[in-house]
């Protein structure tokens, strides 16, 4: 499969990124665009998925951006890697659960490279390390074109999660690679690119 890979070195605003993804979805619908794998970071941004509610906002002063992805309220901030994708399931398996599994597997493979053992959870979507959430997943499908993606906490400020009930999981804690003791975090973009593109190409 011919997936365009895009790596942004500067933070990209959430709204600009979603506009870009939607344009790519429409281009693929018209058979005028390639599939996309995009690795980036966002400035500090709180977003609310289609299953969120206002009770999950603990600090009423924060600005929330509503989005059409699955899931609830979450945080994006510097030091967290976002892996966005636009994948045409019409040319692959029309199986959203299997697509989510590919994303889960890719995150687990990535963390394993840094010595972190993690796992997925069917009840609480995302990737977990010792009962703490290290990665969030949110996907939307339009005409069997899947987009949005996942976020992985690398070395971001996870104290900012205290302003919300992240992903609706009030009794769960959030962690990061740095908090799990990985201090020498090198080649992040390259490893993400290699692992995600390889797994998507096999799907």
Element (H, E) at 20: helix 14-29
Residues 6+ apart with CB under 8 A from 33: 24, 26, 27, 86
Q: Where are the domains of the chain?
A: 3-202
> In this structure, are residues 102 and 37 in contact, taking their beta carbons and an 8 Å threshold?
no
> In this structure, are residues 47 and 67 in contact, taking their beta carbons and an 8 Å threshold?
yes
Q: Which residues pair with 140 in a beta bridge?
A: 147
Active site includes 167?
Answer: yes
CATH code at 3-202: 3.30.930.10
| pLDDT for the residue numbered 1 | 60
Helix, strand or coil for residue 192?
helix
Average pLDDT over residues 24-28: 95
Q: What are phi and psi of 108, to 5 degrees?
A: -60, -45
Q: What are phi and psi of 89, to 5 degrees?
A: -75, -10
**Which residues in 126-164 are b (16+ Cβ under 10 Å) and which e?**
bbbbeebbbbbbbbbbeeebbbbbbbbbbbbebebbebb
pLDDT tens digits, one per residue of 125-169: 899 999 999 999 988 999 999 999 999 999 999 999 989 888 666
What's the CA gap between 93 and 90, in Å, rounded?
A: 7
| pLDDT for the residue numbered 108 | 97
pLDDT tens digits, one per residue of 57-109: 889 999 999 887 777 888 999 999 999 999 999 988 889 999 999 999 999 99
Q: Among 25, 111, 135, 167, which one carries the catalytic annotation?
A: 167
Please calculate the CA angle 8-13-18 and round it to the nearest 5 degrees.
Answer: 90
pLDDT exceeds cutoff 90 at 7: yes
């Amino acid at each position: 499969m011919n997936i365009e890979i895009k790596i942004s070195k500067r933070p990209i605003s959430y709204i600009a990124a979603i506009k870009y993804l939607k344009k790519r979805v429409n281009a693929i619908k018209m058979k005028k665009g390639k599939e996309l794998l995009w690795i980036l970071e966002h400035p500090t941004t709180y977003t609310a998925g289609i299953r969120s509610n206002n009770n999950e906002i603990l600090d009423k002063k924060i600005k929330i951006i509503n989005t059409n992805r699955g899931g609830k309220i979450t945080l994006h901030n510097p030091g967290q890697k976002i892996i966005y994708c636009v994948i045409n399931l019409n040319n692959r398996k029309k199986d959203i659960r299997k697509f989510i599994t590919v994303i889960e597997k890719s995150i687990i493979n990535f963390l394993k490279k840094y010595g972190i053992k993690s796992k997925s959870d069917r009840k609480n979507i995302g990737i977990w390390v010792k009962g703490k959430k290290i990665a969030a997943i949110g996907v939307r499908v339009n005409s069997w074109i899947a987009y949005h993606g996942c976020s992985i906490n690398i070395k971001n400020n996870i104290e900012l999660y205290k302003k919300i009930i992240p992903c609706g999981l009030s009794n769960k804690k959030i962690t990061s690679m740095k908090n799990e003791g990985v201090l020498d975090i090198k080649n992040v973009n390259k490893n993400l690119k290699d692992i995600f593109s390889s797994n998507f190409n096999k799907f």
